[in-house]
Chain A
Amino acid sequence: MYLIKEKRRLNSSMTLMSIQAPLIAKKAKAGQFIILRINDFGERIPLTIADCDIDKGTVTIIFQKVGKTTYELDQLEQGDSIQDFVGPLGLPTELEGYKKAAVIGGGAGCAIAYPSAKALHNMGAHVDMIAGFRNKDIIILEDEMSAVCDNLYITTDDGSNGNKGFVTDVLKKLIENGEQYDLVIAIGPMPMMKAVCNLTKEYNIKTIVSMNPIMIDGTGMCGGCRIKVGGEMKFACVDGPDFDGHEVDFDEAMERLAMYKKEEKQSMDHACKLGLGGGKNA
């Protein structure tokens, strides 16, 4: 069992948890993920590691309530335990040797982009961070992000924070204003990552994306997380989750994410009837 040492709601749909897992905390690097299972009847879900504290022996995860498992996870409190917590899985993001990076996060993706920005910053690179949200009420990690980058640009779809637009709008403007990035990292919903990659392809800037497909074991066994990269089949769990964004087949990846939409909805509806929470995000 893995103890929940801290729980903090970041906004109406996102929650941060720090889990006691000293061995994982010691090993985890930016870009890697864990798989957790709440109880014996639960699903195994992958979540990217948001932060680690080697001294406290904790691993931080940030999740959005999108389905039954994340709703149930959100019901747990500090002092409760999670049945299974395994990691660090996947390959760390390759961050060596870059001088100037734009790190882009979309919504919950900011939680995953943050450790990469932090690592780059600690390695001495210039880091501009662009964070996109639907509206100002769901902005997360503002202080954390601004602490690990040279410039933080927060933009909202509806303009409610005073900056209307998509992350690609900000990136395009920065590039056109003469910023010379040798690396772009884009993490967030698939359509966002795809849009960023389409833009950076024009300017020929290397772009890393973090893929988050459906998976079971996270060790290469199930093959459920296969995605097409450069025309070849790759397993996100062992070959990724980071890939060269210019090579990823996003359309296929988006299709594969929709695999269990119907079953997930049934599971959520069932859970709602049992009073386990619910909502329109289900």
Chain B
Amino acid sequence: MPNMALKKTPMPEQQPSIRNKNFSEVATGYTKEMAVEEAKRCLNCKHKPCVTGCPVSVRIPEFIKAVAQEDFALAYKIIKSTNSLPAVCGRVCPQETQCESKCVRGIKGEPVAIGRLERFVADWAMENIEKKTEKVKSNGHKVAIIGSGPAGLTCAGDLASLGYEVTVFEALHTPGGVLMYGIPEFRLPKAVVQAEVDGLRDMGVDIQTNMVIGKILTIDELFEDGYEAVFVGSGAGLPNFMKIEGESLLGVYSANEFLTRINLMKGYKDEYDTPIKKVKSVAVVGGGNVAMDAARCAKRLGAENVYIVYRRSEAEMPARLEEIHHAKEEGIEFKLLTNPIKILGDDKGFVNKIECVEMELGEPDASGRRRPIEKKGSNFTLDVDCVVIAIGNSPNPLIRTTTPGIEANKRGCLIVDEDSLKTTRNAVYAGGDVVTGAATVILAMGAGKQAAKSIDEYIKSK
């Protein structure tokens, strides 16, 4: 008999008042008993609507059935057959708009907690399955992958399992891309990412760090070196600023810089040399997951007041509901329908205030969301000593400016064929944020998967 409880089995979490002072993971994960209980809520629908909501088509009802039968090893095998990074996806996918949004149980009550179950299975496997190197016999073809974020890692994993000799080039000193420098430890422990990266290395993937393609080697030189195809997954690396007065003041950061200092460079740990300012009041501008991450990091660094400043209302916020909820619980103050117009500083150039104006919502704009309009004369200031700008990123220009024949649109995103993800240059494929602009981990993974399939077809047809 299925478990007909209307609500998901709750996820154990650190208390908000405790966790907002540490960087340990917020959600501590299901126990075996909780996982089995939750798995029994799945009706195992014949038409599997949930699978259609998953960018990498995880065979969801099958793995959940295995969990319900306490065969976690089988569940892991099923997930792994289409998803190379389950421990990551189980934590950071927006399941509420993907698989879980299609769940039949969600019509009356809450959907099955697919993400939590995926995470449970991945974590269980990490602890219980003896790692065995499954190096596939080489097919003698070399493929280069630029960027070791979610798109690149997924593409590398899929191609390596088909026998390709894969080299991944990473610009930073640590592989993982946004999973390492962007998403904080308390949401995605770096050990989890490291384990996924190690898994790829065990499969024979060669990951070279400190390699800025476009500078040290160009794509043309990669072809000369014998690579038969190239996948570009270099991400949306260039931070956008608001172009308002005061953005050069000391204490104004892009979210990329703020998060990189904390996550990649471990500025919050004493044994690391990375400097990070002790801040008291922080305004984070933006309403996405990155803004929530930055705000929650600021709180953990000891800031007393942390504000999210967002020009639309909560309904329009692009952040996941869970992240908004967690941020509120941790004491982040939401200044909604509020737009910054100027950042002010002291005589030494340090930020001391941010001037904002109140907004109201008008007619829907091109994005389908209601357009925010300024309320005249509603200006006010917040006292802050730090401002983090989290209003999105543009694709990094290094590849498109150094590769003849690669075309980009006016926003700088690489142009690709929708089905094959082939760029305007033969044998060069691209996916993830460098094509779409800043989006999600799972969409980038889906693109990495799609490109791996196209590259395989292309090389086989040569």
Measuring CB to CB, which residues of chain A are less than 8 angstroms from any residue of chain B? 23-24, 27, 37, 41-44, 68-69, 83-89, 216-224, 226-228, 233, 235, 238, 252, 255-256, 258-260, 263-264, 267
Contacts and interface: CB of A to CB of B under 8 A. Distances in A.
Given A86-B210, A255-B349, A42 B397 contact: no
A109 to B, nearest CB: 23
A69 B273 contact: yes
Given A83-B173, A221-B238, A255-B348, A216 B210 contact: no
A221 B237 contact: yes
Contacts of B212: 86-87, 89, 218-219
Contacts of B265: 43-44, 216
Interface string B210-254: 111001110000000000000000000111010100011010011
B387 to A, nearest CB: 13
Contacts of B217: 23
A238 B273 contact: no
Interface stretch (B8-16, B197-205, B255-263, B454-462): B255-263
A252 B173 contact: no
A42 B273 contact: yes
Contacts of A255: 250, 348-349
Contacts, number: 110
Given A37-B173, A69-B273, A83-B173, A216 B215 contact: no
12 contacts: A27-B215, A88-B215, A216-B261, A217-B260, A221-B237, A221-B238, A222-B239, A222-B257, A223-B239, A224-B257, A233-B243, A255-B250
A238 B397 CA distance: 9
Nearest to A238: B397
Interface string B396-419: 111000000000000000000000
Contacts of B47: none
Contacts of A69: 273
B151 to A, nearest CB: 16
B69 interface: no
Contacts of B256: 221-223
Interface in B273-294: 273-277
B100 to A, nearest CB: 32
B104 interface: no
A226 B256 CA distance: 13
Contacts of A219: 171, 212, 237, 396, 398
Contact of B216 (A23, A84, A222, A252): A23
Given A86-B212, A256-B349, A259-B250, 19 more contacts: A41-B272, A41-B273, A42-B273, A69-B273, A83-B173, A84-B209, A85-B210, A86-B216, A87-B216, A216-B261, A217-B172, A219-B396, A221-B239, A223-B256, A252-B349, A255-B250, A260-B275, A260-B277, A267-B275
A226 B238 CA distance: 12
A-B residue pairs, 7 tightest by C-beta: A255-B349, A263-B275, A223-B254, A222-B257, A86-B210, A223-B239, A260-B275
Given A41-B272, A87-B215, A221 B260 contact: yes
A216 B266 CA distance: 13
